[in-house]
Amino acid sequence: MTRSDETPGGSGAPDDLDRLLAGIEAKASPLRAVVEEVHRRHVGCTDGRVADYIPELAAADPAHFGLAITAVDGQSFTAGNTDIAFTIQSVTKPFTYGLALEDNGLEVVLDRVGVEPSGDAFNAIELDPRTNRPFNPMVNAGAIATTDLVKGPDLVARTKRVNAMLARYAGRTLNIDQSVMLSEQATSHRNRAMALLMQSAGAVSDRVEESLDLYTGQCSMLVDARDLSVMAATLANGGVNPLTGEQALDPRYVKHVLGVMYTCGMYDHAGAWSVRVGLPAKSGVAGGLLAVVPGRLGIGAYSPALDEAGNSVRGALAIEELSERLGLHLLEPHPSDMVTELRRPRRISEPGRNTTSD
Ligand code: GLN
């Protein structure tokens, strides 16, 4: 956890230019102060409920709340419980979608999984009636289908590939929480029902039972809020991890991953989220949430109490406030002085882009 010496007021009013300029002159980071202030403003919120349909998740402490920003130049700003480990759950879905795209190409993947918001709960047992495919890769059915497209000879090899892929985004080795994995495996009857429905519709392969285990295993990989900010920053940085310089995703597919996050990442709240917050995002039922500001930064949050759509209550409130205060909404370009200095990517992954730094 980082702390500033100065405690800015928590009025919620937009930051004024004088304050920003004062911070820049003093060589302090105004962004650090904002992350701490936004964390402080929402830390007392007790709305929402910890998920318990996976029994092991019910043990999470609803008091935990971490907020982190990692910029594409590699700087991180954190507040609260950013080093508490939790299972990634559905936050893995966009990353697995990226791996499925790399393994199979766009046409094959789009043939199996749509890119339309479903407007229904993440665990709805349904296929798009027009196509007999899952609506999108962010709901469980779609994620099981994209997981089914991950190549490899057997469950162990495929799990290692997914683990290595997530580690490239996080910039560190990630472990599996065995007890959460076993707890979900013993209770994932809905997901099994969806997998079998898709098998009968020809939307997945005949090894979908193995893919279901792979899906549950990847949902049980352990991350913290800072990891999520680095993973989001990697997507913001054209697929290149800003800390390690490693290419985590073929740059051709970054916009496809961000596109489904923008339209479907917050489940049946995705429409309100894209209007109010204006950022591609993905939530998980353990309480993780990340958002991407393309070309600029990634935001990671952890708070296990969820709203009725299954999104972290405090995580969503904090990211919404960051978007407002820093002018991050993608459809409302008013670059704030505070983040202008963070707009330059450190590493360049595409030819022809500006490589100078000043
Ligand atoms: N593993 C969870 C499930 O399949 C993931 C759901 C989520 O995070 N929304 O139910």
CA angle 115, 117, 120 (to 5 degrees): 135
Of 53, 54, 228, best ligand 1 pocket probe by most atoms within 8 Å of the beta carbon: 54
Point out the ligand 1 atom lying closest to the alpha carbon of residue 216: 1
pLDDT tens digits, residue range 129-184? 999 999 999 999 999 999 999 999 999 999 999 999 999 999 999 999 999 999 99
**Residue 215 falls in the annotated catalytic set:** yes
CA of 297 to the centre of ligand 1 (A): 26
**Residue 93 falls in the annotated catalytic set:** yes
pTM confidence score: 0.87
Exposed / middle / buried, residue 146 (Cβ in 10 Å: 0-12, 13-18, 19+): buried
Pairing of strands 288-293, 222-223: unpaired
CA of 256 to the centre of ligand 1 (A): 21
Catalytic, out of 91, 109, 118, 215: 215
Residues of the chain predicted below pLDDT 50: 1-14, 16-18, 20-27, 348, 350-358
CA of 76 to the centre of ligand 1 (A): 28
Q: Which of 308, 305, 307, 342 is nearest to 322 (CA)?
A: 342
Start-to-end C-alpha separation, the chain: 29
Question: What are the residue ranges of helices labelled H in 43-188?
Answer: 93-104, 106-112, 140-148, 155-170, 178-185
The answer to whether the CB of 86 is under 6 A from ligand 1 is no
Report pLDDT for 337: 55
The answer to whether the CB of 184 is under 6 A from ligand 1 is yes
Smallest CA separation from ligand 1 atom 2, residue: 89
The answer to whether the CB of 219 is under 6 A from ligand 1 is yes
The structural domains of the chain, ordered by start, are 14-89+223-357 (3.40.710.10), 90-219 (3.40.710.10)
CA of 12 to the centre of ligand 1 (A): 33
Report pLDDT for 67: 98
| Helix/strand/coil for 67 | strand
**Residue 285 falls in the annotated catalytic set:** yes
Catalytic, out of 180, 267, 292, 303: 267
The answer to whether the CB of 140 is under 6 A from ligand 1 is yes
